A and B are shown apart, each in its own frame.
Chain A
């Protein structure tokens, strides 16, 4: 559709790295989205900064939707049962596995954590396998 976008993707990645570094330098925290938000749903004591980070994501989203709507298009094409199953798996799995693409894939790999490497290889592997099954075996 839009094809290969190495420059904008690397630039976006650098901003994610910068945002994560801010959280590390000023708050001493790992910028893992599932961990930050999961902490809100499971009654952690330190809710303030978690809620603030989530608010930043959402406010950022609202501004971006009006300024660069193409960045959100087209929206996910899955049917609603698939959306529900996928959402449950992503929510439950990232909490059970202590992290997602940000916490394991960016922060954890940067720390050279063996747990994060194992987790990243695993979710990438099952992600590749899932798309292979859906697009090439079932389609």
Chain B
């Protein structure tokens, strides 16, 4: 059951990314180009997602409480900030964040395959070297 739900969630997630414009690197870069011809569209993706998720999360927390597996860490630390900074640079260089990068593998185009392989290698590398 949990695997079926996860699969359906993945499919809907992919559709949302594509409709929202997140799988078009030029659109992502136009969103990140604050000082050029700024395209604010992708702020609406985040806004739309939070508008749906936030009320459901707070209701679920009251109803399900301990059955939710939420991140334990509370305060920002150096690892969090350095990692996020690295992610932002990679995002700004190419225009893919992890979800769209994975969905775009299906295009079987060279850029998507190279980026996706490098991203998975980066994740793997962190699993090997990154623990302190």
Contact = CB atoms under 8 A, between A and B. Distances in A.
Interface in B1-52: 1-27, 29-30, 32-36, 39-42, 44-52
A132 B33 CA distance: 6
A17 B2 contact: no
Interface of B: 1-27, 29-30, 32-36, 39-42, 44-54, 56-57, 60, 64, 67-71, 73-76, 79-99, 101-107, 109-112, 114-127, 130
Interface string A124-135: 111111111011
Contact of B99 (A1, A7, A33, A62): A33
A88 B90 contact: yes
A75 B83 contact: no
Q: Size class of A's contact patch? A: 35 or more
Contact of A90 (B33, B39, B87, B103): B87
Contacts of A118: 76, 80-81, 84
A12 to B, nearest CB: 2
Interface of A is mostly: helix
A4 B42 CA distance: 9
B104 A86 contact: no
Interface of B is mostly: helix
Contact of B106 (A65, A80, A110): A65
Given A64-B106, A130-B88, A12 B19 contact: yes
Instruction: Rank and list the top 8 A-B pairs by shortest CB-CB distance, nearest first.
Output: A56-B10, A12-B20, A91-B122, A13-B48, A97-B83, A87-B118, A60-B14, A130-B92
B126 A31 contact: no
A99 B88 CA distance: 11
B112 A131 contact: no
Contact of B87 (A52, A65, A89, A113): A89
A100 B97 contact: yes
A14 B114 CA distance: 30
A82 interface: yes
Contacts of B13: 15-16, 19-20, 31, 33, 53, 56-57, 60, 102
B5 A26 contact: yes
Given A56-B10, A59-B11, A26 B22 contact: no
Given A13-B51, A107-B57, 5 more contacts: A12-B16, A16-B49, A17-B50, A98-B71, A110-B50
Given A9-B41, A9-B45, A64-B18, A93 B104 contact: no
Contact of A52 (B4, B60, B80, B101): B4
